[in-house]
Structure 1
Amino acid sequence: MTAVDATADVWLPIPADEVEGLPDPEATGFTYRYWDGLTDFPADPADCAFYVVPYMKGTEIAVRPLAAMTSLRVVQTLSAGVDHVTPGLPDVAPGVALCNARGVHEASTAELTLALVLASLRGIPGFVRGQDREEWRAGFYPALADKSVLIVGYGSIGEAIDDRLAPFECARVVRVARSARTTGRGPVHAFTDLPRLLPEADVVILSTPLTEETRNLADAAFLARMKDGALLVNVARGPVVDTKALLAETGSGRLTAALDVTDPEPLPAGHPLWHAPGVLISPHVGGSTSAFMPRAKRLITEQLTRFAAGEPLRNLVLTTG
């Protein structure tokens, strides 16, 4: 990445005066433009060189200005996934860098993952309903201790989940990613090993990006290989799971599920997932916590500082072309 020449617009979904440490406009030629995706464009998109995509506003808003951004050099998401941006990439020129928000969401998403696992196993949703009805629902409930956990998608979020599982005395934590490798915590298996690994897991956690390879990864065959009574946790993207197949398995009572993401999303009123037995739903809040904004601002500042100096950017996913 070469240093910026002359002037360039930078589109931010956060007002520039709220982001500490941004490169000096006078020294860099940057003009900071605020666009949250909900208002008219702040300036001519053709002048934008660095586009920070509005967070959690969906594909339609994310890609809306791309075709007109003829000077574009960087697209920076504030999400770990980039599937909401990739549909617009054919409209941009070759050589545009797409970067994700690795390092922003790991802590929050891993926290929620453990919360969903523990709440589902220990029966927390039932306790809340019991409290509403003044019912004392005593009894024995499953524990995470001594369970076998399978993490499907072992990137930075999968690693953060693994870190937080360490104190819970799991019998085994098995890791799966697109390709096999070895880590300090042990081997990472390839997706091709899933048919062998799924029947051994009490808890299956999905933390993959959404790609053509992972779309409907947890289909009817995948779910059928899970052991009776297993828990499926999805903190990836809704379309990683075949909703119809999941409804069949949870409806029979054979599997339970905890979902931070759904397909469709937002989940509309009246959808059968809302009342499916053994299903706990959170409204895609894995990264939407108090930890998000400080980390997002630090990432924006670092990336723009690198961009201004012509240094390599962090978190490069791909370069168009």
Structure 2
Amino acid sequence: MSDHPAVVLALPPDLAEDLLPAELRARLDRAADWDPAVNLQAGPAPAALARAEVLLTGWGCPVLDAEFLARAPRLRAVVHAAGSVKAHVTDAVYAAGIVVSSAAEANARPVAEYTVAALVFAAKRAFGAARALRTGHDGHQHSPGAATGLTGCVVGVVGASRIGRLVIAMLADYDVEVLVADPYADPAELGGATLVDLDTLCRRADVVTVHAPALPETRHLLDTRRLGLLRDGAILINTARGTLVDTAALTRECAAGRLDAVLDVTDPEPLPLDHPLLTLPNVLVTPHIAGVRGRELRLLGGYAVAEIERYAAGLPLRGAIRHADLARMA
């Protein structure tokens, strides 16, 4: 490790300016030896890669397998200016003693904020009311005993992930009861939420929000049986991964009017244009926009630059990902 490690970019070229605006580039200038014109996603740079000590990666990064690493003999750290590293980090990276860091923590807050906003709007049945308004129906009138509004709801959080824990913390400002289902959760980290099994959560929750990783064992975690446990009028929010929910089963429940849904992710993604979930009045589907976008991209770049600053100073990386934890992460 050097005071000014050689850093090479492997970022989407069309996002590089948003990920690394001028102030972040200035910080990187002070912490590292790098050339903003050299980007492995724009073209091969064998000489730069051969001397690289840190690889600053993003979406679409090349797979870092043994063949790649043979061309980067000095590589000691991979700093990912995005969330999941599963698409490019291989066992060979850890076998070579290379430290891996992810900016998933920076991506978590926008997703959690989006989720809480969806909770508020969905609990007010705002999406269906807006569609009704366009057809001439006035949804403003008070309906005695209507089960609307987040106040007094039981909110079920599936997965005490980084995002799930942020959602739990944000819900402390609301008059709700929070249930959490996660086999790996530490009750001490749940901020007063109640840890329950998933079936109990489905039976009791008015709103269910999904924040589990997409793993073979979590595919269709919310299947026909568990969706059937949800009470009539319950709301499902998914900002995690589409495969966690059985799309066909959810479509049946929503088409019957028994459940409402807000889906930022789907399976498949995107849905076919003629899919019923895109037109049902009690469903809102958005195109995977909960995570960082636009001005928020600098949050990822800022996190990654701070990691490189820590690396150059010989400090532990805040977003370090252990090999042992990779298998059960998103």
TM-score range, shorter chain: 0.7 to 0.9
Separation in structure 1 between the aligned mates of residue 4 and residue 190 of structure 2, nearest angstrom:
46
User: Which residue number corresponds to residue 6 of structure 2?
Assistant: 8
User: Which residue number corresponds to residue 128 of structure 1?
Assistant: 130
Q: Give TM-score, length-normalised by structure 2.
A: 0.79
Separation in structure 2 between the aligned mates of residue 252 and residue 224 of structure 1, nearest angstrom:
12
Between 254-263 and 7-16, the greater mean CA deviation after superposition = 7-16
Q: 2:232 aligns with which of 228, 232, 256?
A: 228
3-state DSSP of counterpart to 1:244 = helix
User: Which residue number corresponds to residue 61 of structure 2?
Assistant: 62
Separation in structure 2 between the aligned mates of residue 236 and residue 310 of structure 1, nearest angstrom:
34
5+ unaligned residues in a row in structure 1: which ranges?
56-60
User: Which residue number corresponds to residue 303 of structure 1?
Assistant: 307
Paired amino acid for 2:183 = R
Separation in structure 1 between the aligned mates of residue 117 and residue 27 of structure 2, nearest angstrom:
35
Q: 2:115 aligns with which of 113, 116, 120?
A: 113
User: Which residue number corresponds to residue 58 of structure 1?
Assistant: none
Paired amino acid for 1:208 = A
Q: Give TM-score, length-normalised by structure 1.
A: 0.81
Residues 257-278 of structure 1 deviation map (CA, whole Å, 9 limit, x = unaligned): 1111111123332233312452
Residues 116-149 of structure 1 deviation map (CA, whole Å, 9 limit, x = unaligned): 2222222322333344344423343511111100
Q: 1:11 to 1:188 in 2, by over 3 A?
A: farther
Q: 1:54 to 1:7 in 2, by over 3 A?
A: closer
Q: 1:289 to 1:17 in 2, by over 3 A?
A: closer
Q: 2:77 aligns with which of 74, 79, 87?
A: 74
Q: 1:145 aligns with which of 145, 151, 154?
A: 151
Q: 2:296 aligns with which of 285, 288, 292?
A: 292
**Mapping of residues 153-172 of structure 1, within 5 Å:** 153-170=159-176, 172=177
Separation in structure 1 between the aligned mates of residue 88 and residue 214 of structure 2, nearest angstrom:
12
Quote the offset at 1:30 in angstroms.
4.1
User: Which residue number corresponds to residue 207 of structure 1?
Assistant: 211
Q: 1:74 to 1:102 in 2, by over 3 A?
A: same
Q: 1:229 to 1:130 in 2, by over 3 A?
A: closer
Paired amino acid for 1:254 = R
**Mapping of residues 165-204 of structure 1, within 5 Å:** 165-170=171-176, 172-181=177-186, 182-183=188-189, 185-186=191-192, 189=195, 193-204=197-208
User: Which residue number corresponds to residue 259 of structure 2?
Assistant: 255
3-state DSSP of counterpart to 2:61 = helix
Separation in structure 2 between the aligned mates of residue 34 and residue 268 of structure 1, nearest angstrom:
38
Aligned length: 307
Separation in structure 2 between the aligned mates of residue 63 and residue 12 of structure 1, nearest angstrom:
8
Q: 1:84 to 1:267 in 2, by over 3 A?
A: farther
3-state DSSP of counterpart to 1:317 = coil
Separation in structure 1 between the aligned mates of residue 85 and residue 101 of structure 2, nearest angstrom:
8
Separation in structure 2 between the aligned mates of residue 179 and residue 243 of structure 1, nearest angstrom:
26
**RMSD in angstroms over aligned alpha carbons?**
3.1
User: Which residue number corresponds to residue 316 of structure 2?
Assistant: 312
Q: 1:292 to 1:225 in 2, by over 3 A?
A: same
Separation in structure 2 between the aligned mates of residue 290 and residue 7 of structure 1, nearest angstrom:
29
Residues 205-244 of structure 1 deviation map (CA, whole Å, 9 limit, x = unaligned): 1112323333322222322222222111111111222212
Paired amino acid for 1:269 = L
